[in-house]
Structure 1
Amino acid sequence: MKLRRSSTVQVALTLTVLAGIVLAGTGAPCAGAQAETQAPRRAEGAQTQAAEASNEDSQDPDPRPGSVSDVFPFGVYASGNGPVPTMAAAGASLVDQIDTLCRDLRAHNFDTVWINNLSSEFLPLWLAKGREHGIRMVPQGGGMPMYLLNQGWWEARWESAIETQVKPFYEELAHKHRNDPSLLAYSIVEEIPPDSPFFPHIADITRRVADIDPHHPVIVLYNRATSAERAVREIQPAVIGYDCYPFFTNSRSGPVSHHAQRSYYERQIARFSRAAASIDAQLWIMAQSWGRTAASDQADPAYRGMRPPTRAEMRYQVWAALFHGARGIFFYAYASNAQPNRQGYYDEHFLDYKGQPLPHYDEAARISRRLDPVKPLLLRLRPQADVEVVYWENLEQLHGRTFVHELTGDRYLMAFNADVEKEQPIDLEFGYFPHYLAATDHFHDVLSGVSYEGRDLRNVVLPSGSGRLFLIGGPEAWERHLAWETTTGNNR
């Protein structure tokens, strides 16, 4: 099964649009009457194993689910009914594919799968493997009633179906899986426009599920800031998800220069960040791991559309998101079909069309491991302009922002190098006034513990696309930081 947005962007790339515009479209997974009555072809044994996993769920639930606000997910988007296409082509069962995916993600320090186009009968299989391997799941269906549709066969039926099918389905799902520690959230639809008729129904379903299962929220993955802003007003979700892919190859489709890509990516994330912050929702970013590779010399470059990010661009996507307050990172996507598309290009993600890992997958793993000690801290930091310590930035690509710890009240500086080609020093000018810095304040690197005076930070160089986090204050602030760290299990 194709990943949903591959086909969406493929259609969008045939259009001539201004650089930087968001490619629209809901990318609905299926619109025919068969979506309601026929499940996709099953891998051998999957139905029986799904039933066994379902029975296991209902008989012995784990009573300790975690709250979404206490989790910093680092995950990937993957197909629910065939997550490893090369294995599926070789005849591997669905359960073996899920097991291989989960093992591979753990080896790369990933902890979450955003499962798309999922047949609901296979959710118990995913949750069982999640419990086995320590992977959390964000299930997203492939059609009604698990995924909202109002196209094709559903065009005249969707509204009544929401009342008679979708709402009962999600209430039952919440009752059944509310105690499952491998469940993180329920994704009900993605990429809806701001005038979608679904908004009031999503609000109602969100409230219904929260009454049954307060730990696992109903969420939506948006690709337009105007949609997220409407969601904040009318739904007030616990999580705002945003998918954004900046690395285009053709200016008729999107930004191609680094400056344009930065403008597109960061301006949109900033709007999503403001929307999420207005209701203190988690901001999860779905960043780009995909691109297209020509299957032959005859492939027309005009149809390539997207290129895979470099290692530095992987770092850039993550740190730009963190700089704007993101509290979760995902990548689109894990793998796609082993066959080229009609334009003669392979869609490649973390795995290439042969099922082999690409270099930016290894870089994502390195980033996740590097962030592990500060992921709990990132969940507690909020950007706060009225205590900003940065007076000005001396370099175009080097940025600084002050965050405040919501529990201790201490300030933290995040420095971020947006240059994806060169390392840059932390050349920031700090204000030493009562509302900026005291003369005794230092900058303590939260990873190494090394303490710097403000002027000494210019000697610290950030690799291309990277960032670093510093506690601001004297020795007593550092002691508070260490004491708080011990409450998260991060003992130095």
Structure 2
Amino acid sequence: MRTAYQIAVPLLAALCGWSPAGAAVRPADQPVRHFPFGVYWPWERTAGIARNAGVDSWTFVRQTCRLLKQEGVDTIWLVNIGVDDTKRLLQITRPLGLKILPGLAELEPRNRPETAAVKVDDPDSLERALAYYRRTIPTIVEAIGDDRSGVLAWVLGDEPTGGAVVLLEEMRQLFAAADPGRPVLTVSMWHTTPEVIDKTRLMTLCMDLYPFFGPRSPNGPHTPEASTAFYTNNLQKMVEAAGRDGRVGWVMPQCYGEVWGPWELRADGTGVALPGAYWHWRMPTPAEVRWQVWEGLRCGVKGVLFFVLLGNAQGSPGAQPVEEASVAAVLIREPTPVGPDALLDYVGRPTEQFRAAASLFRRLAPHRNLLRRLRPTSEELLTANGAAVGCFQDPTTGVHYAVVVNRDLAAPRTVRLTPGAGIGRLDDVLAKKRLPLRAAGEQRAASMRLAAGEGCLLKLLR
């Protein structure tokens, strides 16, 4: 058994960038170079949705992977999947050109006593967990074998807290030894992301942000102003913190709804909250889906993966009414349609939210390498009335770009775009056209019509 000093010193060395004599701390990996447009797939929901669709699970998986590929999704984040199913899934995804981010059941800290019980101030509990991972991680890498060329990065855990955060850095080093050169990452909640940044050398960070709570919810933002501010402020903090030492940030936006208590599922895929239920999260509108992607780009994220691909296979009309006093004032009193609860419905059919995300992914995909390269700049090279602007530079060419986002999630806006000093031309990158600049007082400006929650990527030429 290692002493507290023997455990703490290597971990401290990894976090602080120094090593005592004789200690070998593996350097940080490289950030993921690929810009993913992806979805989060809870593997345990697959069988139920497949049954509803009238097919076996693996037929459903093949059909869904083909759908994702056709619709512009290129990366699948998985959770609660085992090694054997991962190997079988890779036989489907690799030929399609889909990358996966496997959150293996064998690795998830909360899944077994020796890893779930880690306490920051208990060296023995940490040693027991590390003994498990020293055995398991090399075995997993060997079991996946050459198929791991289809693995974009290994997922170390889902929303880690407490002792699980301490494990991340040790797990990173074990993977660096077992599968050199392949990145690792986790997805963290907005309020634990600073701890993940401080206590690990993970170079790719992913934060899940779910800004659309149910109407009048006391548990989170539920007005357009509060929801957009919550999303933007937390993204900006993550991207800024990540960028200080060469890391990159991904976002896992919201595309789901959640009802506590009784609810039923209609044949058309619409969920209906029943009396006594509490509407905790509401499904975003297609405009809000688009906005989450564009606002992520404006804030400088380098990957977008929506939560969640699959929802519930059936309703819970017999569930007990919610009795929590804190939500008593907002409980459902009459049957209330709440829409779908995932990107695909209970039989695997695309929802309008999926169509909105997929359409935007397809438009952005040809520019993924550019989006991955762009670096924020403090220069105010473009202003836009009624819209938010983020300015960037491509370090390989020196050319400047701007992401402009309509902050109105309910209505289209005609936005006036005014170039800054020295900018004489604006090109719409996605539309592949030059925007005409016309005299506007002492300046020249262009105008653009943006749908609700829509954005654009502009090339700024001098």
Give the alignment's TM-score, normalised by structure 1. 0.73
1:467-482 to 2 correspondence within 5 Å?
Answer: 467-474=455-462
The match for 1:415 is 404
1:295 to 264, 270, 288: 264
What count of residue pairs does the alignment treat as equivalent? 393
Distance, in Å, in 2 between the alignment partners of 1:178 and 1:240 is: 26
The match for 1:171 is 138
Whether contact under 8 Å (2:159, 2:189) holds in the other structure is: yes
Whether contact under 8 Å (1:137, 1:185) holds in the other structure is: yes
1:336 to 307, 311, 323: 311
Deviations 1:307-348 (A, max 9, x none): 211111111010011111111111111112322243688972
Once the 2 structures are TM-superposed, how far is the Cα of residue 247 of structure 1 from its aligned partner? Answer: 1.5
Quickly say closer, same or farther: Cα 1:304–1:327, change in 2 above 3 A. Answer: same
Once the 2 structures are TM-superposed, how far is the Cα of residue 158 of structure 1 from its aligned partner? Answer: 5.4
Distance, in Å, in 1 between the alignment partners of 2:406 and 2:245 is: 29
Distance, in Å, in 1 between the alignment partners of 2:158 and 2:44 is: 18
| Root mean square deviation of aligned Cα | 2.8
Whether contact under 8 Å (1:68, 1:215) holds in the other structure is: no
Matched letter for residue 444 of structure 1: D
In structure 2, the gaps of 5 or more residues are 1-29, 119-123, 266-271, 322-337, 439-443
- Are residue 356 (structure 1) and residue 349 (structure 2) matched? yes
The match for 2:79 is 116
The match for 1:389 is 381
Whether contact under 8 Å (1:425, 1:458) holds in the other structure is: no
The match for 1:59 is none
Matched letter for residue 369 of structure 2: P
What SS class does the counterpart of residue 469 from structure 1 fall into?
strand
Whether contact under 8 Å (2:137, 2:178) holds in the other structure is: no
Quickly say closer, same or farther: Cα 1:230–1:104, change in 2 above 3 A. Answer: same
What SS class does the counterpart of residue 32 from structure 2 fall into?
helix
Whether contact under 8 Å (2:402, 2:460) holds in the other structure is: yes
Q: Does 74-83 or 407-416 show the bigger shift?
A: 74-83
Q: Does 450-459 or 277-286 show the bigger shift?
A: 450-459
1:264 to 214, 225, 230: 230
Distance, in Å, in 2 between the alignment partners of 1:150 and 1:130 is: 26
Distance, in Å, in 2 between the alignment partners of 1:420 and 1:239 is: 30
Quickly say closer, same or farther: Cα 1:171–1:238, change in 2 above 3 A. Answer: farther
Once the 2 structures are TM-superposed, how far is the Cα of residue 81 of structure 1 from its aligned partner? Answer: 4.3
Whether contact under 8 Å (1:85, 1:335) holds in the other structure is: no
What SS class does the counterpart of residue 443 from structure 1 fall into?
strand
Once the 2 structures are TM-superposed, how far is the Cα of residue 426 of structure 1 from its aligned partner? Answer: 3.0
Once the 2 structures are TM-superposed, how far is the Cα of residue 388 of structure 1 from its aligned partner? Answer: 2.8
Matched letter for residue 374 of structure 2: L
Matched letter for residue 443 of structure 1: L
Whether contact under 8 Å (2:187, 2:207) holds in the other structure is: yes
The match for 2:282 is 307
Once the 2 structures are TM-superposed, how far is the Cα of residue 350 of structure 1 from its aligned partner? Answer: 1.3
What SS class does the counterpart of residue 405 from structure 2 fall into?
strand
1:286 to 206, 228, 252: 252
The match for 1:489 is none
- Are residue 210 (structure 1) and residue 176 (structure 2) matched? yes
Quickly say closer, same or farther: Cα 1:259–1:77, change in 2 above 3 A. Answer: same
- Are residue 134 (structure 1) and residue 97 (structure 2) matched? yes
Deviations 1:64-92 (A, max 9, x none): xxx86331111111122442522145774
2:218 to 236, 252, 268: 252
Whether contact under 8 Å (2:312, 2:346) holds in the other structure is: yes
Deviations 1:147-171 (A, max 9, x none): 1128868437853442222233223
Deviations 1:405-461 (A, max 9, x none): 1211221121111211122233244432xxxx25xx312222334234665654222
Distance, in Å, in 1 between the alignment partners of 2:175 and 2:113 is: 28
- Are residue 319 (structure 1) and residue 273 (structure 2) matched? no
Distance, in Å, in 2 between the alignment partners of 1:356 and 1:451 is: 38
Quickly say closer, same or farther: Cα 1:209–1:295, change in 2 above 3 A. Answer: same
The match for 1:464 is 452
Matched letter for residue 285 of structure 1: V
